[in-house]
Structure 1
């Protein structure tokens, strides 16, 4: 096939096969991701037939990881991260150290070097956030306390892996690999320590910028885009922010794409746009996350099952059994409940994206042989396939533990778990209050001005952003006859008097004025003066024109009322005073 359509063929065949085998897997009562993995094996370089472009597949999969981590950040605020730090930070670091040592011991039994064991052990110690999120979403556990702990745990793992990716080239030659540019034999301890300090400073600087500057800049950008009322522009802005911050963080601060996207989501989670951004990016998250699993399948060489079956079983045992037991033991030492230990253990019983990055770096530095990559990929493939079964077993164990618990007694770790649950509930309640206040404001607006209820539901958020608040004191002139029309005024509170053709008409809260001059393009035909302390919502001329062009039903309703008011202005005084006036 011509190289010009390599991208198209990779996406098309990947999606078609993923759909076909995902559906078959579902009919066989297996998770669809098993079908996605099998589709990847079929189009990989180790099976006959069509071979997809591995480089393109990996990059498409990276986009899926970025979007998925962005979605995690949208639902996982900075407050959540701080709430679970007491278990996530010591737990993740301790689990990485012990699991790495376990992997190194296994490699030592195979006769591999210390450096090889270190890289392989690190690759086996870190779980896939993509796989975890899919598992939690299927069981509706993302927002549960245990789910939050598991996600926070993996975020800490990702941060640790960022540091490992920086340090590995620096120590490659010392560990028995080949020299890496900038880290040769002539290097001293000082440059290495300096590089480590610079790396940590970059990560810290990125986190500080994301947390301090992001909440001010990102919502401001999205507010301006939302005011345009263009759905495609808003979706594009969300993607631009997610991918832009991910790319910028990787190239400027040395942070991984996925971690940068996660912080972009965290920044946006504190704004009123988080739900809309999540809804708009969800279809793309689902589509590209499928390509992630397909790309994993493409890396698998089935021949490794014949060459080293015992090694594959050993790697799988470290991932599924060793890591789970280590995590469970750490959580028990931290005095958290058995249920939390079981949930985190199931979450860590697989490996994924960071494992591939680490093992690829190990190969490029000469520390890991090609067989090491095959074993890690085999471990990832089978652990991902087995992960739903692990979660099912864990769920059954949790049920039995709860049944065995005597009624009315506190189980082990209850105080720590309740404190964490209360903190997460408090954070969630605060977030829900912001959302409820926003929804109440929108509902009140539509209730007070029924004409705006003609706007489609998905565009009502944008409508709320278009309004500019304005106030006026009693006696203040709001509109002067003969002026150019600057906007349409909606009276939230107070009252005004409209003077036109020698008549005075009073408008109270819930009324609006100023639409006639905007519709006709003429100058103002009346004076409007506040007779009470007034609060207005103003739709500026530009926004009015854009809004009416996009919503012809609202324009027709406003134009009809404006025509009635025009006729009243020409009617006898007594009849006009009984009506409502706009200027």
Structure 2
């Protein structure tokens, strides 16, 4: 009789453990206001070889888990539009470049002083200079400081750190296999190869990805659109891997190509669940790979290294922020927020271990140091507040970088940009009311964007997309869609996630208007009813009926809602 295990699907046990761990981690840590990244690390440690040993062979799922990093790089590329980099250029390319360069040099020098090889020291310095985008951004969101001067300065440094990931990965590749050539020559040739490959991919992507997505969007199929987005990410990663570069670099380039397109927010919403799950799996495998026995044998050195890392990075970043003109309180808060190690340290150290550049015990020790520093990060803003209060009152915040669309406040989201939506937008513009629009017609979106309208392609019933457009701080949402079912979905999504946000909607008739009113819409305009009243009003006036009588008649019918039997 065949064994039941022979008919089991591959990785079912691992998938069940991962999904169960993910649910528990998110539920527990959401109550504790701690980043899920830390929970994934702890959960991986618990179920891995150093814990309960529920999963013994980590290597067989690690390659699949690395797709999480690929999707993360794609999302980062989407966020790094050329316009955004220009708005943040002083802080990104000034403060960010100085922070990464000086921190990498200082930490690399310390690593070399303690007996590491020059190659290993360079890798350790480069990866430990980076901070955790996932943890820091989550903390800024929870504290409501994304749009503050602290949030903008901190985020600008994180943007440069994200850009620095690509050359760091190239550095690891070159140092691990320099060949017979001198190191500097090998590094220069690899960078030249990378630049050529990047240029070719960007040029090809610029002329192919946009038209492809417009054709797919024209089908109005959300499933096909999501499948196309996944295909772009994986295909670009595969193409760069064939050229000897990392798959993460290809995904990053794909995101960069699409960053300025009208599809950016919809793609980001579609990819986000895949990125979140796969990145969670990646952190889970990192936690599984930590040798707890090795850490316990060196617990004193681990704690000294963690606090030393935070002190070095926080002190250096604070000093640099002050030098670039940030007020003292902003510099202190940004410095401490950027003091921890980042998730890319796991990627870089893992690559260095695979290339035998680092001894296994050093790699495991670095995993522990980075993980512990991330575990302490949620407590650093409180420490910064105390330091600022001791040093004296805060100074006025600088204007800093301009906020992103998600950081807009008091604006209106116009869902649907046909004739009605365009009229609404024109009236808002005349009154100097900021707005951002959405529509599912790719040709319309493209034409309106070319004319300078703030419009994006996307489904206005997707709450994650609305959040990207600043629904948390919006003044109102106006739904001008002509499909009743789509209108109800859009209104329902806003009412469920933002119950206090004002919603105004267009309805086809009085019956639809009544349904929308039940959903909590503040203002509903039944277009057929209103148009019939307008037609009757014009006809009666043309037939000589006094204007006052016509106005009273129309008002009475509007209030009663009566129509002909």
Q: Aligned residue for 2:393?
A: 404
Does residue 331 of structure 1 match 2:321? yes
Return the alpha-carbon distance in structure 1 between the equivalents of residues 264 and 148 of structure 2: 19
On the 8 A contact 1:124/1:376 being kept in 2, the answer is no
CA contact (8 A) 2:415 2:421 kept: no
1:171 offset after TM fit, Å? 4.9
Query: Given the superposition, is the C-alpha separation of residues 263 and 397 from structure 1 closer, same or farther in structure 2, using an over 3 Å criterion?
Result: farther
Map residues 13-52 of structure 1 onto 2, 5 A cutoff.
Answer: 13-28=17-32, 30-51=34-55
**Aligned residue in 2 for 1:313:** 303
Deviation string, structure 1 residues 382-406 (Cα, Å, up to 9, x no partner): 11211111234335656787x814x
Give 1:91's aligned residue.
95
CA contact (8 A) 1:296 1:381 kept: no
Structure 1: runs of 5+ lacking an equivalent? 173-179, 448-459, 470-583
1:289-309 CA distance string (max 9 Å, x none): 322332221122211332112
Check the 8 A contact 1:272/1:438 in 2, yes or no: no
5+ residue gaps in structure 2? Answer: 425-437, 448-565
Match among 197, 205, 208 for residue 199 of structure 2: 205
Number of aligned residue pairs: 433
CA drift of 1:365 comes to 4.8
Show CA shifts across 1:415-440 (max 9, x none).
xx42x43xx25x759999x9978844
For residue 441 of structure 1, what is the aligned residue in structure 2?
418
Separation in structure 2 between the aligned mates of residue 65 and residue 308 of structure 1, nearest angstrom:
29
Partner residue, 2:15: 11
The structure having more radius of gyration, on CA atoms, is: 1
Secondary structure, aligned partner of 1:360: helix
Match of 2:290 among 281, 296, 300: 300
Structure 1 residue 276 displacement after superposition: 2.3
Contact 1:202–1:253 under 8 Å retained in 2: no
Assess if the C-alpha contact under 8 Å between 2:262 and 2:446 holds in 1.
Answer: no
Report if the CA contact (8 A) 1:119-1:368 is conserved: no
Residue matched to 2:494: none
After alignment, is 3-12 or 332-341 more displaced?
Answer: 3-12
Q: Counterpart of 1:222? A: 213
Q: Do 1:73 and 1:269's aligned partners in 2 also have CA atoms closer than 8 Å?
A: yes
Summarize deviations over 1:159-216 as a string: whole Å, max 9, x none: 44433443445456xxxxxxx3x513xx35785365145245336525xx53x65455
Aligned runs of 1:115-154 on 2, under 5 Å?
A: 115-142=119-146, 146-154=150-158
**Structure 2: distance between partners of 1:258 and 1:197:** 16
Report 1:120-269 matches (<5 A).
120-142=124-146, 146-168=150-172, 170-171=174-175, 180=177, 183-184=179-180, 187-188=181-182, 191-192=185-186, 195-196=189-190, 198-199=192-193, 201-202=195-196, 205=199, 210=202, 214-252=205-243, 254=245, 256-269=246-259
Aligned with 2:338 (options 330, 348, 363):
348
User: What is the match of residue 373 of structure 2?
Assistant: 383
Q: Cα 1:28–1:136, aligned 2, differ >3 Å: closer, same or farther?
A: closer
Contact preservation (8 Å) 1:96, 1:157: yes
Q: Distance in 2 between matches of 1:335 and 1:36?
A: 38
Residues 416-472 of structure 1: per-residue CA shift (max 9 Å, x gap): x42x43xx25x759999x99788443644899xxxxxxxxxxxx9445759999xxx
Give SS of 1:404's match: coil
8 Å CA contact 1:64–1:285 kept in 2: the answer is yes
Distance 1:87 1:288 in 2: 31
